[in-house]
């Protein structure tokens, strides 16, 4: 009888561990499903700026029509001419627009380079509106995607490579150059530059995703990698493995799905879009798209965000030894048990 008691207690312990792991891992799986799938399921047009060539009264009429069909999806403003409307699209003040000047053909303007999801929606809405008025819709792509990548897969798939390019070097250089702080820092900054050029070269010459100048795209990707790698390395310096792990997991499981690179942030729910654009993956995607297709228009906030992350990483990196020394002094001052 006494020999069975320990065995019975062991079984209860193992059962409790089994139940705890099963429930805990199920909760983690649910959280991952919500993080990676919910943004796509909840995505759609939200406060998309549209221009209408004509009077303010015409713009208000179009706005009322669109609001009745898709509440909250569009914000409409008037433009004096089609040229002004096109310039507004290039400046990224609006995502598209309509010109009703021709009584037979309605011109529907968009920019597939900004987002195929957004431009497709604008085209569909314009075609529907033209049909209701007995007109045909002529689609004008003001800023088209390159012929080599007509669906925008190249830049749309940057989220994971950016996260990978930020996390893995922070681990690799620390492992291979343990204790060599200046070499680690030089390695991270050097890899950011090299990685930026590698990605830009692949996008241009292998995928055909970009056609313009190579250096601005390379610099944007490099800034995105540095905005991940340097803060992660700095957090390790200041708080050790725990600080690094929490930050890396946050970037992987929040920054990645919330980035909205393939569709643009405007396609995501408001709160998710805001969080995504404050994190390096989302900001880097926005900046790369801006410099690749729009001569930098619409990328200013993203560049400032990435610059702030880089600066924070540098501050953390150089604060690390002081924090470690202060922690060591505090531990040395504690009375011996």
Per-residue pLDDT of 74-85, as tens digits, reads 999 999 999 999
Say if CB 63 and CB 51 are below 8 A apart: no
- Do 234 and 311 lie in one domain? The reply is yes
Q: Does residue 99 sit within a domain? A: yes
Q: Does residue 32 sit within a domain? A: no
Q: Is the dihedral of CA 208, 213, 218, 221 positive or negative?
A: negative
Q: Model confidence over 236-285: pLDDT tens digits?
A: 988 888 889 999 988 988 888 888 888 888 888 878 889 999 999 999 99
Q: Does residue 207 sit within a domain? A: yes
Specify the number of domains making up the chain.
2
Q: Does residue 19 sit within a domain? A: no
Q: Does residue 26 sit within a domain? A: no
High-pLDDT (> 70) share of the chain, % = 95
Q: Does residue 88 sit within a domain? A: yes
- Do 168 and 273 lie in one domain? The reply is yes
- Do 120 and 164 lie in one domain? The reply is no
For residue 80, the model assigns a pLDDT of: 92
Tokens of 186: 């030089």
For residue 266, the model assigns a pLDDT of: 85
- Do 266 and 117 lie in one domain? The reply is no
- Do 197 and 255 lie in one domain? The reply is yes
- Do 80 and 216 lie in one domain? The reply is no
Residue with tokens 């725990």: 242
Q: Does residue 222 sit within a domain? A: yes
Buried b (16+ CB within 10 A) or exposed e, 160-180: ebbbebbbebbeebbeeeeee
Which residue has better confidence, 184 or 160? 184
Where a domain ends, among 121, 141, 161? 141
Tokens of 44: 């759609």
- Do 159 and 238 lie in one domain? The reply is yes
Coil vs helix vs strand at 206: helix
- Do 235 and 122 lie in one domain? The reply is no
- Do 270 and 298 lie in one domain? The reply is yes
Mean pLDDT of 116-142: 92
What's the CA gap between 272 and 259, in Å, rounded? 9
- Do 111 and 189 lie in one domain? The reply is no
For residue 4, the model assigns a pLDDT of: 53
Q: Does residue 271 sit within a domain? A: yes
- Do 162 and 131 lie in one domain? The reply is no
Instruction: Tell me which of 39-53, 64-78, 122-136, 138-152 is least confident.
Output: 39-53
Q: Which helix (H) or strand (E) holds 165?
A: helix 159-176
Say if CB 120 and CB 137 are below 8 A apart: no
Q: If you average pLDDT over every residue of the chain, what do you get?
A: 89
pLDDT category of residue 1 using cuts at 50, 70 and 90: very low
Range of the domain at 72: 48-141
- Do 161 and 95 lie in one domain? The reply is no
Where a domain ends, among 89, 113, 141? 141
Predicted TM-score (pTM) above 0.75: yes
Where a domain ends, among 141, 161, 185? 141
């Amino acid at each position: 009888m006494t020999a069975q008691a320990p065995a019975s207690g062991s079984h209860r312990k193992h059962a409790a561990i089994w139940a705890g792991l099963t429930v805990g891992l199920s909760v983690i799986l649910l959280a991952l499903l919500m993080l990676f799938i919910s943004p796509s399921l909840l995505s759609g047009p939200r406060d998309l700026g549209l221009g209408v060539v004509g009077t303010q009264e015409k713009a208000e009429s179009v706005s009322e029509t669109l609001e009745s069909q898709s509440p909250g999806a569009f914000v409409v403003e008037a433009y004096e001419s089609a040229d002004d409307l096109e310039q507004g699209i290039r400046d990224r003040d609006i995502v598209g627009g309509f010109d009703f000047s021709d009584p037979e053909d309605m011109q529907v303007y968009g920019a597939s380079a900004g987002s195929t999801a957004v431009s497709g929606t604008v085209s569909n809405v314009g075609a529907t509106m033209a049909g209701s008025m007995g007109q045909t819709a002529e689609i004008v792509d003001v800023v088209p995607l390159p012929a080599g990548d007509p669906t925008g897969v190249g830049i749309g798939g940057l989220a994971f490579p950016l996260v990978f390019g930020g996390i893995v070097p922070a681990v690799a250089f620390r492992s291979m150059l343990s204790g060599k702080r200046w070499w680690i820092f030089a390695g991270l900054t050097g890899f950011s530059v090299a990685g930026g050029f590698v990605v830009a070269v692949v996008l241009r010459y292998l995928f055909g995703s970009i056609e313009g100048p190579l250096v601005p795209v390379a610099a944007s990707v490099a800034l995105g990698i540095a905005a991940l790698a340097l803060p992660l390395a700095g957090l390790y310096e200041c708080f050790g493995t725990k600080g690094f792990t929490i930050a890396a997991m946050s970037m992987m499981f929040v920054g990645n799905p919330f980035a909205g690179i393939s569709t643009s942030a405007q396609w995501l729910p408001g709160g998710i879009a805001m969080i995504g654009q404050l994190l390096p993956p989302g900001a880097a995607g926005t900046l790369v798209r801006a410099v690749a297709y729009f001569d930098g228009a619409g990328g200013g906030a993203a560049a400032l965000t990435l610059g702030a992350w880089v600066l924070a990483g540098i501050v953390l990196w150089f604060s690390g030894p002081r924090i470690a020394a202060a922690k060591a002094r505090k531990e040395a001052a504690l009375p011996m048990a």
